[in-house]
C-alpha cells in the first residue's frame, strides 16, 4: 500500500501518478478522513493529558492531607470523569477512521516509477530489445500449438472438460514429459543463478492475498474455499512473499532470492472469448516464479537482473522474444515498473507474453509488514519486493511446439531439454485408444 505520509505530504504528485494509470483513483477522500483522524488524535491526546494531570493533582492534594470528600477534590474528580467519558467516545471513532483510511488505501494501486513510460494502454508500451530473430522459423505452414498437440496426441481437451470444465487441459505421454522436463530445467537454471527453491502451500489465507495486492480488488479472479478462508494461489508470488510477512529481517541477510514451481489457478474473469484453445489462458497452469526481497537502494538494479534471469531460459531454449517496458496504463496493480517478456508464436505471427517481471518497491512490504534492520542502527525500513515468471511453463511449451515444428509435423526437442527427456531429439507422439 502507499504510505499515508506520502499521500499527505505530496498529494498533487500522488494524484498525477495515479491519473497516468488506467482507471480512476481519487485520494481526496483519504485526505479528508486523514485530517479528521489527526484532529481526533490531537483532541484525544489533549484530553488524555488533562486526565493524567487531574489524577496527579488529586493524588497530591490527598497526600497533603486534604480530605477525599473535599469539594475541590470532588470537583476535580467530576471533571476527570467527564474527560474519561469524552475519551471513551473518541477512541472508538478514531479506530473507525483508521480502518476506513486503510480500506481506501488498500484499493489504491502503486505509483508508476519515473522510468515507467506514461501511456493509457498496451499500445503505448515501449519495446526495449529483441533477441533471437535468427531462430524465427521460416516454415510457412506451422500449425497452432493446440492443433499439433492434438494431432500428436499429447493434449486432450474433451476429457479435461468432462473432469472439470472449459479452460482445463490434459497433457498426455510426451506432453506431460515435456512439461515436467521444462519445470526441472527452469528450476535448475534458476537455482544455479542463486535462487533458493521453495515448495510452498497451494492454498493461502485472505491475509496473504491482501499482502501481495490481490485482495480486495481482484477477489473475482481467484478460486476460494469459503468455509476455510483459503484461496487457491494465482501465482507462487503470494505464498513465497508471505513467508516473511510480519517479520523483521537482518540487513546482512538481504538480498533474499527464492524460486518456486507451483500450479497456479485463475478464473480469468472477463477474458472469455480470448485464447479459448491451447495453453495460453487456462484456469490451471504451471509456472516457475522468481521472488526477491532486497535493500531499497538496489531494487531497480535487481529488477534488471531478474529480467536477465528470465531471459536466460528463453535464450537457452533458443526461442525468439522481445522485452517490453509497460506503460503506466498497462501496469499491474502492485507494480511500480514492469518488463514483459514476449515470446514469438509463428502460427499467429505475433509475440505473446511469457513472463512479467516487476518491482513493487515497498508497496507489498507495507501491506505485509516486511521490514529489515541494520546492525547498530535504530529503527527499521521496509524491504523492496520483486517477482517475475521464470517462466510460464505452458506458454513455453506452446512456443516450443510452434518454433520447433518441422515440415513433416514432428517436433524437434531443444538441445538443452534432451537430457531431461532421455536424450531424445524428437518429441514422440502419444496415441490413446478411444
113 carries a ligand binding annotation: no
Q: Find, among 77, 112, 126, the residue nearest to 340 by Cα.
A: 126
Q: Is 83 buried (19+), middle (13-18) or exposed (0-12) by CB count in 10 A? A: buried
45 carries a ligand binding annotation: no
Answer for the pair 390, 191: CB distance below 8 angstroms, yes or no. Answer: no
355 carries a ligand binding annotation: yes
Cell of 217: 480488488
289 carries a ligand binding annotation: yes
30 carries a ligand binding annotation: no
268 carries a ligand binding annotation: yes
237 carries a ligand binding annotation: yes
389 carries a ligand binding annotation: yes
127 carries a ligand binding annotation: no
134 carries a ligand binding annotation: no
Cβ count near 277 (within 10 Å): 16
SS3 per residue for the chain? CCCHHHHHHCHHHHHHHHHCCCCCCCCHHHHHHHHHHHHHHHHHHHHHHHHHHHHHHHHHHHHCCCCCCCHHHHHHHHHHHHHHHHHHHHHHHHHHHHHHHHHHHHCCCCCCCCCCCCCCCHHHCEEEEEECHHHCCCCCCCCCHHHHHHHHCCEECHHHHHHCCCCCCEECCHHHHHHHHHHHHHHHHHHHCCCEECCCCCEEEHHHHHHHCCCCCCHHHCCEEHHHCEEECCCCHHHHHHHHCCCEEEHHHCCEEEEEEEEEECCCCCCCCCCCCCCCCCCEEEEEEEEEEECHHHHHHHHHHHHHHHHHHHHHHCCCEEEEECCHHHCCCCCCEEEEEEEEECCCCEEEEEEEEEECCCHHHHHHCCEEECCCCCCCEECEEEEEEEEEHHHHHHHHHHHCECCCCCEECCHHHHHHHCCCCECCCCCCCC
Q: What whole-number distance in Å separates Cα of residue 105 and Cα of residue 102?
A: 5
353 carries a ligand binding annotation: yes
Q: Is 117 buried (19+), middle (13-18) or exposed (0-12) by CB count in 10 A? A: middle
Q: What whole-number distance in Å separates Cα of residue 373 and Cα of residue 97?
A: 30
Size (the chain), residues: 434
197 carries a ligand binding annotation: no
Residues placed in the known binding site? 235-237, 266-268, 289, 353-356, 389
Residues placed in the known binding site for ATP? 266-268, 353-356
Residues placed in the known binding site for L-serine? 235-237, 289, 389
Amino acid at each position: 500500500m502507499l504510505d499515508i505520509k506520502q499521500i499527505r505530504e505530496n498529494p498533487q504528485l500522488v494524484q498525477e501518478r495515479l491519473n497516468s494509470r488506467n482507471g480512476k483513483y481519487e485520494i481526496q477522500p483519504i485526505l479528508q478522513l486523514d485530517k479528521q483522524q489527526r484532529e481526533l488524535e490531537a483532541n484525544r491526546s489533549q484530553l488524555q493529558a488533562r486526565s493524567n494531570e487531574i489524577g496527579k493533582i488529586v493524588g497530591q492534594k490527598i497526600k497533603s492531607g486534604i480530605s477525599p470528600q473535599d469539594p475541590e477534590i470532588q470537583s476535580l474528580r467530576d471533571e476527570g470523569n467527564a474527560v474519561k467519558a469524552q475519551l471513551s467516545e473518541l477512541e472508538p471513532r478514531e479506530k473507525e477512521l483508521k480502518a476506513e483510511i486503510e480500506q481506501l488505501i488498500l484499493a489504491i494501486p502503486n505509483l508508476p516509477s519515473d522510468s515507467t513510460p506514461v501511456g493509457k494502454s498496451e499500445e503505448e508500451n515501449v519495446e526495449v530489445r529483441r533477441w533471437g530473430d535468427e531462430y524465427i522459423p521460416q516454415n510457412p505452414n506451422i500449425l497452432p500449438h493446440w492443433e499439433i498437440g492434438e494431432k500428436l496426441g499429447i493434449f486432450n481437451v474433451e476429457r479435461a472438460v468432462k473432469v472439470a470444465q472449459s479452460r482445463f487441459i490434459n497433457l498426455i505421454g510426451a506432453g506431460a514429459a515435456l512439461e515436467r522436463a521444462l519445470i526441472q530445467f527452469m528450476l535448475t537454471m534458476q537455482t544455479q543463478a542463486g535462487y533458493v527453491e521453495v515448495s510452498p502451500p497451494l492454498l493461502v489465507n485472505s491475509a496473504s492475498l491482501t499482502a501481495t495486492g490481490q485482495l480486495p480488488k481482484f477477489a473475482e479472479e481467484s478460486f476460494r474455499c469459503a468455509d476455510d478462508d483459503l484461496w487457491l494461489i494465482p501465482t507462487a508470488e503470494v505464498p513465497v512473499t508471505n513467508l516473511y510477512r510480519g517479520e523483521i529481517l537482518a540487513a546482512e541477510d538481504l538480498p533474499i532470492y527464492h524460486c518456486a514451481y507451483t500450479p497456479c489457478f485463475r478464473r480469468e474473469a472477463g477474458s472469455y472469448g480470448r485464447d479459448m484453445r491451447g495453453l495460453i489462458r487456462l484456469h490451471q497452469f504451471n509456472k516457475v516464479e522468481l521472488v526477491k526481497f532486497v535493500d531499497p537502494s538496489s531494487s531497480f538494479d535487481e529488477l534488471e537482473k531478474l529480467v536477465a534471469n528470465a531471459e536466460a531460459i528463453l535464450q537457452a531454449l533458443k526461442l525468439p522474444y522481445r522485452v517490453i517496458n509497460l506503460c503506466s496504463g498497462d501496469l499491474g496493480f502492485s507494480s511500480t515498473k514492469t518488463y514483459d517478456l514476449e515470446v514469438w508464436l509463428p502460427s499467429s505471427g505475433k509475440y505473446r507474453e511469457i513472463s512479467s517481471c516487476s518491482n513493487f518497491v515497498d508497496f507489498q512490504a507495507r501491506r505485509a509488514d516486511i521490514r529489515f534492520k541494520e546492525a547498530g542502527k535504530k529503527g527499521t525500513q521496509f524491504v523492496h519486493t520483486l517477482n517475475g515468471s521464470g517462466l510460464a511453463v505452458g506458454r513455453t511449451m506452446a512456443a516450443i511446439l510452434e518454433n520447433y515444428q518441422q515440415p513433416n509435423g514432428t517436433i524437434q526437442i531443444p538441445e538443452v531439454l534432451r537430457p531431461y527427456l532421455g536424450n531424445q531429439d524428437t518429441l514422440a507422439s502419444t496415441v490413446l485408444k478411444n
